[in-house]
Structure 1
Amino acid sequence: MPETGKTPDLPELPEAVAAPRARWRLQVVWLVPIIAVLIGGWLAVKAVLEQGPKITITFNTGEGLEAGKTKIKFKDVDIGVIKEVSLSRDHKHVIATAEVVKDASDLLVDDTRFWVVRPRISGGTVSGLGTLLSGSFVGMDAGASPKTRQAFTGLETPPVIASDVPGREFVLKSQDMGSLAAGTPVFYRRLQVGQITSFSLDPDGRSVTLRAFINAPYDRFVRPDTRFWHASGVDLALDTNGVRVNTQSLVSILVGGVAFDTPDQSVGQPPAAAQTSFALFASFGDAMKRHDRIVTRFVAEFKDSVRGLTAGAPLDFRGITVGEVTGIYTRFNRETRKLSIVVEVAYYPERFTNRYEGGPTGSPAVENENQREFADYLVARGMRLQLRTGNLLTGQLYLAVDFFPDAPKAKIDWSKDPAEFPTVPGTLQSLQDSMTRLMTKLNTIPFEAIGKNTQLTLQSANALLGHLDTDVVPQAKDTLSAAHGVMNSANSALQPDTALQQNVSDAMSQLAQTAAAVRTLADYLERHPEALVRGKPENKP
């Protein structure tokens, strides 16, 4: 057991040496904020790198736009959001600043279109009903231009056709809009094949330009000679051909429409190029009229009424339309001091004589240099213009060109521009003239003198009848009585049992015997002619 009071031997401890402290010694506690800063920086850099472009869209009004909430959608996919809505410096427009995702930056080209989607009724269609619950948003239609763009002007109405829809757009020229609007359907054989995309008034203010988009594959049926016409509502025509009613569909009756078709002779043509311009006619009849290359204009003067004759009335040659009326007006002749009615006519020579008899197929009948000579020849043969009634129900008139051999001699006045074609009175006017001439002749008849002579004749006849009654009638009665007595005597003499009848019977018997003897003698002489010289020989015993 160790002794008490002594300390045990302990190992010697090393002497502590003070080490110098590092100036930038990193404490573990600082690792967390450093890592957070690095992550935040990385996120910030990533956000900057992934941030899409900012664009501005100018609208006329801020309706439906709300900063931080209004989305930009393409094909119903969110590609951006409106960040700020402010007024322009002139306070006339609203500028919406939007941020678009980076993946959609290649869609921001020169012909990209933006519009505010809200509930609309246009062209018989209703759109944007979904925004009643979700709120308005900005729609986008991507363009195909290679040029990029950052500032856009928003559309006030949505585009009717998206840029990626297959088909072609054509230009239509019309005198007026009718009942058409953006979104109005286009029909082909009563099948809806397209829509009216836009319209504008021409700079001269005299016509309207419309753009029609025809969906594929129907766009191949639009050819260079295709005819477009208004198919709005009900096409009711009342003319020389009677009453005609035509319509494309119930939709066209309610909201209007445009229809097109190609004449049979042009069906083989290739499809028309995009943006080809066509005339938009008022009706199907106007659209399908033959488009003649040669048009000769002349005038005709009429003295009878032209009530019922309108511009567009046909010039008819025995059932074939060879022209049409283009104008009607009055004209005062200073030399004769007379007022007349003048009708302007567009004449199509190719319709009147389009073949020479015995000539080559397809050769024109009348060359330009021989038209006057040919027209003079026809007029010399009696060709004239005449007003005729085309429809008794409507009273419509038309111009007839025909031959009237008994018409007075006339010539075409080529000195006037346009030339004046000779005319004859219309059928009603001719009847009226005939009635006038008849009444004139009747007025020359002395009916009063004839009446007086007739009265004298009747008085003479009455006197003669009185003379017959007093003088002639008694004598006639006596004569008739005597004649009646003679007839009675003759009747008595001709009775069967009278002596006259017996004597006549005997005389007839003797006459018959005589005739038999003569016949016997004639037979004998024929057999014995020598008996005339020698006589009849005696009979030997």
Structure 2
Amino acid sequence: MDKPPGQQPDAPDFPEAVAARRSRWRVQLVWLVPLVAVLIGGWLAVKTVLEKGPTITISFVTGEGLEAGKTKIKFKNVDIGVIKKVVLSPDHKRVIASAEVNRDATNMLVDDTRFWVVRPRISGGTVSGIGTLLSGSFIGMDIGTESKARRDFVGLESPPVFAAGVPGREFVLKSGNMGSLDIGSPVFFRRLQVGQITSYALDPDGAGMTLHVFVNAPYDKYVSNSTRFWHASGVDVSLDTTGVKVNTESLVSILIGGLAFEDPPNVVDKTEAAAQSQFELFSDRAEAMKRHDNIVDTYVLNFKESVRGLLVGAPLDFRGIVVGEVAAIYTHFDPVTKEFSIPVEVRIFPERFTSRYQSGGKGGRMTADRKAFTDYLVAHGLRAQLKTASLLTGNLYVAVDFFPAAPKATVDWSKSPPELPTIPGNLQGLQDSITSLVAKLNKIPFDAIGKDLHQTLTDADGLLKTLNTQVAPEARATLAAAQETLASANRSLQPDSPLSQSTVDTMRELSRTAAAFRTLADYLERHPEALIRGKPEDKK
């Protein structure tokens, strides 16, 4: 067999290779696996981004209990976020905690949402956060009621007293001091705890305190426009014009303090107070329940006696009715008379002076023309004086009454405040009387009287000696003779004495004579003719 040209002799005979065409789909299937992996990774990344909630920042005073990656944010004990980073603020005064919040909690991040660190606390008589001793601290959250979204917050230093949405109303109280109150201190109504103090702050001028209290529903309806709030903290021991008083609201108030409120008696306006209404916080229940008058007149009472025991707030009494109170007590030196006096400023409530001096039984008040009415009262002897309210405490009060014999006086309305006339009190009058008596006693010449008395006693001593030496012996002899006479008379009066026997016989004779006269008288009564004819002889 002939060899084809170009082929070497004796070479093996192999079939000719034919190149096959590659399919396009085979190349795409190779890259399908990584493509699917990329798509899955992208989808997961997009899902993570879509499901990722907002990042917020919370500012705290301290980082105690905060740990990045571990500290949770909880709402009603459900995790809704976690702290991712904790750093100091640029001024190094606070701690900034960055947290990631779940996407489904985004609508909870509004302008008045509150955050705080939950840790073990003992405050205001309450214990909270005990469970964190084992589980660790976490950040508590309370949803606000605003609609504006917010991403940066300032954390609270202590948990809120009540959560948002709790039924009830918050009120504002103005007080001169805090007493023993604190956040969380209870609020009582008729000794039932119905609320608590939510916050307090010092007024900008430093003259008082502003407190916010929350009264739970349904008890908030008992807070009216006329309601009075007062301190019910601890044990209130007071010494006033009525003696010693000990008041307390409850055992809880003794330990941690508290407030109480109630409507005064015979109140007219019982309209429910609106939220954030402002009230005055009184020092005690007695002060809160006092009648608060709208019209107040200020006068000065000038005393020249000691006012020890007179306190600011002491009553101004008119025949047992409190018509005012002491507002201030001062001292004054008169350069003309060179004398000290004690001006006492008092507040008088004209509305408490009522009368029925008008005809027809219609009452009148002295508020219409108070100056003319006051002049009339002073002209008819109205005076003020100090009186002892309690012998136990030594407290004084100011009494006003009519003294017609008092020196004439008038009110000088040009002074501000005008001055009402006074007279010395009973104690001062007694002191003046004693002083006058002592002065009169000092005028008595006790030394001369003593010398005269000594001379009189000397003369009396001489007289006694004369009586003893001269008169006494004669008197003794006379007394001895008298004694002998009495003894003789006694012997004569004995039953067996001769005088006694003779007396008995004589009395017997007198008895027989009397009997004879009685017989004669009977006979003459029956026979009066016997006085003329004589007694007829008996017929034989």
Task: Tell me if the contact between 1:412 and 1:419 (Cα under 8 Å) persists in the aligned partners.
Answer: no
397, 400, 423: which is aligned to 2:398? Answer: 400
Specify the code of the residue in structure 1 equivalent to 2:74.
K
**Aligned counterpart, 2:385:** 385
Measured after TM superposition, the shift of residue 166 of structure 1 is 0.9
C-alpha distance in structure 2 between counterparts of 1:474 and 1:63, whole Å: 118
Identify the residue that residue 409 of structure 2 maps to in structure 1: 411
Q: Which amino acid aligns with 1:429?
A: Q
> Per-residue deviation at 1:268?
5.5
Corresponding position of 1:425: 424
Correspondence 1:431-442 to 2 at 5 A = 431-442=430-441
Q: CA deviation at 1:367?
A: 3.5
Equivalent-residue separation in structure 2 for 1:283 and 1:141 (angstroms): 35
Q: What one-letter code is carried by the residue in structure 2 that aligns with 1:443?
A: N
Distance 2:26 2:421 in 1: 123
Q: Which amino acid aligns with 1:366?
A: R
| C-alpha contact 2:316 2:400 (8 A) present in aligned 1 | no
After superposition, the C-alpha distances for 1:472-520 in whole angstroms (9 at most, x for unaligned) are 9999999999999xx9xxxxxxxxxxxxxxxxxxxxxxxxxxxxxxxxx
Q: Secondary structure of 2:162's partner?
A: coil
* C-alpha distance in 1 between matches for 2:404 and 2:464: 54
Q: Distance in 1 between matches of 2:62 and 2:482?
A: 130
User: What are the within-5 Å matches in structure 2 for residues 476-515 of structure 1?
Assistant: none
User: Aligned in 2, Cα 1:33/1:343: closer, same or farther, shift over 3 Å?
Assistant: same
Q: Distance in 1 between matches of 2:130 and 2:471?
A: 117
Q: For 1:67, what is the secondary structure of its paired residue?
A: coil
| Distance in structure 1 (CA, Å) of the matches to 2:75 and 2:91 | 31
Contact kept, 8 Å, 2:118 with 2:137, in 1: the verdict is yes
In the alignment, which residue of structure 1 is the partner of 2:135?
Answer: 134
Q: 1:144-159 maps to which residues of 2 (within 5 A)?
A: 144-159=145-160
CA shift digits 1:178-198 (9 cap, x unpaired): 222211111112211111111
One-letter amino acid matched to 1:413: V
Secondary structure in 1 matching 2:369: helix
Q: Is the 8 A contact 2:366 2:373 kept in 1?
A: no
SS in 2 for 1:43: helix
Distance 1:482 1:131 in 2: 121
C-alpha distance in structure 2 between counterparts of 1:77 and 1:359, whole Å: 78
Of 432-441 and 474-483, more deviation after overlay is shown by: 474-483
Deviations 1:306-353 (A, max 9, x none): 2222111122223322211111121000111111222111122222x2
Confirm or deny: 8 A CA contact 1:387 1:425 kept in the other structure: no
CA distance in 2, matches of 1:480, 1:374: 84
1:436 CA drift (Å): 1.5
Cα offset for 1:358? 6.0
Query: 1:79 touches 1:101 (CA, 8 Å); kept in 2?
Result: yes
Note the C-alpha offset of 1:52.
1.8
Give distance in 2, aligned partners of 1:398 and 1:478.
74
SS at match of 1:308: coil
**Structure 2 unpaired stretches of 5+:** 1-16, 487-540
In the alignment, what sits opposite 1:495?
A: none
| Equivalences for residues 292-371 of structure 1 within 5 A | 292-351=293-352, 353-357=353-357, 365-371=364-370
> Does the CA-based 8 Å contact 1:64-1:118 persist in structure 2?
yes
Structure 2 counterpart of 1:122: 123
The aligned amino acid for 1:356 is R
CA contact (8 A) 2:83 2:98 kept: yes
> Structure 1 residues 464, 382: closer, same or farther in 2, change over 3 A?
farther
SS in 1 for 2:59: strand
Which amino acid is the alignment partner of residue 381 of structure 2?
Answer: R
Q: Is the 8 A contact 1:410 1:422 kept in 2?
A: no
Contact 1:380 1:411 in 2 (8 A): no
Go from structure 1 to structure 2 and tell me whether the alpha carbon gap of 1:27 and 1:414 turns closer, same or farther (over 3 Å shift): same
Pick closer, same or farther for the CA change 1:191–1:19 going to 2, 3 Å: same
The CA deviation at 1:379 is 5.0
TM-score under structure 1 normalisation? 0.79
1:42–1:431 Cα change, 3 Å: same
Is the 1:385–1:421 contact (alpha carbons within 8 Å) kept by the matching residues of 2? Answer: no
Matched, 1:222 2:223: yes
Distance 1:420 1:227 in 2: 33
Distance 2:300 2:233 in 1: 35
In 2, Cα distance between equivalents of 1:37 and 1:118: 46
2:160 partner letter: P
Q: Distance in 2 between matches of 1:482 and 1:92?
A: 126
Percent identity of paired positions between Structure 1 and Structure 2: 59
Q: What's the counterpart of residue 281 of structure 1?
A: 282
> For residues 26 and 381 of structure 1, what CA distance do their matches in structure 2 show?
127
Q: Which residue of 1 aligns with 2:526?
A: none
Q: Which residue of 2 aligns with 1:57?
A: 58
Please identify, of 101-110 and 317-326, the stretch whose mean Cα deviation from structure 2 is larger. 317-326
1:88 CA displacement: 2.6
Residue identity in the other structure for 1:154: G
Structure 1 unmatched ranges of 5 or more? 1-15, 488-541
8 Å CA contact retained: 2:161, 2:184? yes
SS in 2 for 1:213: strand
Q: Counterpart of 1:443?
A: 442
Instruction: Tell me the residue number matched to 1:75.
Output: 76
User: Structure 2 matches for 1:134-283, cutoff 5 A?
Assistant: 134-266=135-267, 269-283=270-284
- 1:211 to 1:471, Cα distance in 2 relative to 1, 3 A: closer
Deviations 1:240-271 (A, max 9, x none): 22211112222222222111111122275111
Specify the code of the residue in structure 2 equivalent to 1:82.
Answer: I
Offset of 1:25 from its aligned partner?
4.2
- 1:52-74 superposed Cα distances (whole Å, 9 cap, x missing partner): 22222222222222222211111
Report the Cα distance in structure 2 between the residues aligned to 1:316 and 1:97, rounded to whole angstroms: 67
Cα pair 2:325 2:348 within 8 Å, conserved:
yes
Whichever residue aligns with residue 322 of structure 1, its letter is: V
Aligned with 1:417: secondary structure?
A: coil
Q: Is the 8 A contact 1:316 1:398 kept in 2?
A: no
Question: How much is the aligned-residue C-alpha RMSD, in angstroms?
Answer: 4.4
